[in-house]
Structure 1
Amino acid sequence: MGRWQPLRGDLPAEVVRLVRELRQYVDRCETTTATVAAKTGYSRSSWLRYLNGRRLPPWSAVEGLGRLAQADAEYLRVLWESAAHAWTPGGAAGEPVPPTAPKRRAGRSEHPDTPVAAAPPTEGRWSSRGILMPGAGVWLAVAAACSLLAALLLARPWDTGTGAVRPPDGAPAGAPAWPWPLRSAVDRTGAACRSGGCRGLDPYREKCDRDGVVVHRLRAYGHVLTLQFSPGCMASWAEVETPAGTAGLRIATSGGDEQRAATGGAYTAMVGNGPDAARATVVVDGRQLGVARYDSWIDAVTGSG
């Protein structure tokens, strides 16, 4: 796919985080929105809206893409729930459609022996645009409901004095009260290091690969360059499939950290940074392949690298 469009600046951070995660899944699968649509049951136009932050995707769509990318369903559910909590729908809702009156034959009911009952009077009036305008009784009912809701909010019967708020229905099992912290995978991995403590260490010996995810991948010249990240270890590393014939495999960060693999090596040691700050590169046939979280490139090698 081409480079993703920038997201709107007014999107909540939770929505941005979900959309970026979904974009990463599409990149990881090396697929197109048309293929995603065919495999999830949601149209391509819908996926374009979801992946560009114009509409919040339903959980079933997110779950379907997560299955394609073999993502952690529990982690993804927390991302989606937090985005749903923060989402503010854009644009006005569609205009209501006047109700259709039941069809009757002139002066007769559907069954000849059954008298036609007079239709109950409809409170309110129809506007010139065909919209039913509520009458005074409806407005009184709405006002009473709002008053009751306000009283409940002031009384806060759910507040036990501890400041805790119950998570909404549909939250993952065992989720804490809002706001939900993103669950760390460190307990699942049994990793021996974390963040800066992983710098220069082998991701496989430290067991950081157990929850490793593909941040971005580039396939070219018979090789596959991958930027890997472990949520549990909070560390990144670079890998290359079919390492024979490659050189200069490395991972570098915006902060100046860098780890290199030996010539023909399949992966680098780790840097203690998340995927936003890291990029992986390798030299193949006189060209440098590179990947970052939202970008990939192929450049001619003009210097010592």
Structure 2
Amino acid sequence: MGRRQPLRDDLSVEAVRLVRELRQYVDRCELNAATLATKTGYSRSSWLRYLNGSRLPPWPAVAGLGRLAQADAGHLRVLWEAAAQAWTRENVSAPTAPSGPAGSALTPGTAPSPAANPSTRRTPRGTGILTAVAAACAMVAAVLLARPWDGGTAAGRPPDGAPSGAPAWPWPLHDAMDRAAVTCRAAGCRGLDPYRKQCDRGSVAVHRLGAYGHVLTLRYSRLCRASWAEVDTPAATTGLRISTTGGDEQPAAAGGAYTAMVGSGPDAARATVVVHGHQLGVGRYDSWVHDLTGSGRA
């Protein structure tokens, strides 16, 4: 859907996290607002508002996009519930806006409609159910806001197994066997093969971009605390590399489908590749396609 404007500064942390996740799904599946409307039943204008952070998407819309992207439904549900709770906190007394395939979703400061979440539909004892769900969401939101792995004070030290400066939540903890399997960490992984060092175990696709018949992926190993770039099919591509904001760069070998690692988290990493005179690029929260025809770049 092209480069997007930055999200509003007053948007809650939980809402930002949800919108960025949805944007990644859209890029991964090469979708546009019109296609989303057709496949999910929510209008094109609604999806533009959802992805710009001006409306909270109802759960059925989020779940529909998640299915298209083959996302983890449980993880996505946690993100959505935390965002919905944050929207409610901003103005608990604001009226609920209608939501659904033919309607608009919630604006900042409004509570999520019961219709958007089948598990909270009103019943003779609906008040108790809604209270329980709200309490659970509040607990999730509190954990997200606290971000105990961000470092700093004693109360904010990373738990065992969580990487320092982890870029997203939740990160699963790893047992001793997983940690023992890898043979490098962070800066010690620089220039090394991620698969030979077993850093691919438990790694995540931070962001993907599909264009011109190829898919570029930025990958991150939570165990090795290192990142690398991959392309699904190296044929007809050049210049596959990963670089960091600190100036580190690792190119792929000629004809290779992936690069060596940089000892960096995905927030500082950028993966690029050249396909048919165009540079494809992905970062943690962004993707782009640049026309390089006539520029002499490779």
Cα drift, residue 258 of structure 1: 1.5
Structure 1: how far apart are the matches of 2:39 and 2:274? 35
Cα drift, residue 274 of structure 1: 3.5
User: For residues 52 and 230 of structure 1, do their structure 2 counterparts lie closer, same or farther at Cα, with a shift above 3 Å needed?
Assistant: farther
Structure 2: how far apart are the matches of 1:41 and 1:72? 21
- Report if aligned partners of 1:239, 1:268 keep a CA contact under 8 Å in 2: yes
User: For residues 60 and 300 of structure 1, do their structure 2 counterparts lie closer, same or farther at Cα, with a shift above 3 Å needed?
Assistant: same
Cα drift, residue 253 of structure 1: 0.7
1:298 aligns with 2:285: no
- Report if aligned partners of 2:211, 2:280 keep a CA contact under 8 Å in 1: no
Cα drift, residue 281 of structure 1: 2.2
Which amino acid is 2:291 matched to?
I
1:219 aligns with 2:183: no
Structure number with bigger Rg: 1
Residue 244 of structure 1 aligns with which residue?
235
Structure 2: how far apart are the matches of 1:186 and 1:201? 24
1:70 aligns with 2:60: no
Residue 23 of structure 1 aligns with which residue?
23
Residue 263 of structure 2 aligns with which residue?
272
Structure 2: how far apart are the matches of 1:238 and 1:267? 6
> CA deviation digits over 1:262-296, x for unaligned, max 9?
111110122233333222223445x3523023131
In structure 1, the residue corresponding to 2:235 is in which secondary structure? coil
TM-score (norm 1): 0.63
Greater mean alpha carbon deviation, residues 209-218 or residues 191-200: 191-200
User: For residues 274 and 38 of structure 1, do their structure 2 counterparts lie closer, same or farther at Cα, with a shift above 3 Å needed?
Assistant: farther
Aligned residues: 231
User: For residues 247 and 217 of structure 1, do their structure 2 counterparts lie closer, same or farther at Cα, with a shift above 3 Å needed?
Assistant: same
Cα drift, residue 199 of structure 1: 3.3
Structure 2: how far apart are the matches of 1:279 and 1:8? 23
1:179 aligns with 2:143: yes
In structure 2, the residue corresponding to 1:183 is in which secondary structure? coil
Between structures 1 and 2, the one with greater helix share: 2
Greater mean alpha carbon deviation, residues 248-257 or residues 33-42: 33-42
Cα drift, residue 84 of structure 1: 2.0
Structure 2 counterpart of 1:235, from 202, 220, 226: 226
Task: Please show how residues 123-138 of structure 1 align to structure 2 within 5 Å.
Answer: none
Cα drift, residue 11 of structure 1: 0.7
In structure 2, the residue corresponding to 1:227 is in which secondary structure? strand
Structure 2: how far apart are the matches of 1:60 and 1:197? 44
Structure 1 counterpart of 2:200, from 208, 211, 214: 208
> CA deviation digits over 1:139-161, x for unaligned, max 9?
xxxxxxxxxxxxxxxxxxxxxxx
Q: Which residues of structure 2 form unaligned runs of 5+?
A: 98-131, 148-168
In structure 1, the residue corresponding to 2:229 is in which secondary structure? strand
Which amino acid is 2:51 matched to?
L
Which amino acid is 2:230 matched to?
E
Greater mean alpha carbon deviation, residues 201-210 or residues 262-271: 201-210
Question: Once the two structures are aligned, what percentage of the paired residues are identical?
Answer: 58
User: For residues 91 and 6 of structure 1, do their structure 2 counterparts lie closer, same or farther at Cα, with a shift above 3 Å needed?
Assistant: farther
User: For residues 177 and 45 of structure 1, do their structure 2 counterparts lie closer, same or farther at Cα, with a shift above 3 Å needed?
Assistant: closer
User: For residues 284 and 199 of structure 1, do their structure 2 counterparts lie closer, same or farther at Cα, with a shift above 3 Å needed?
Assistant: same
Cα drift, residue 49 of structure 1: 1.4
- Report if aligned partners of 1:250, 1:281 keep a CA contact under 8 Å in 2: yes
Cα drift, residue 80 of structure 1: 1.8
Cα drift, residue 25 of structure 1: 0.7
User: For residues 298 and 231 of structure 1, do their structure 2 counterparts lie closer, same or farther at Cα, with a shift above 3 Å needed?
Assistant: farther
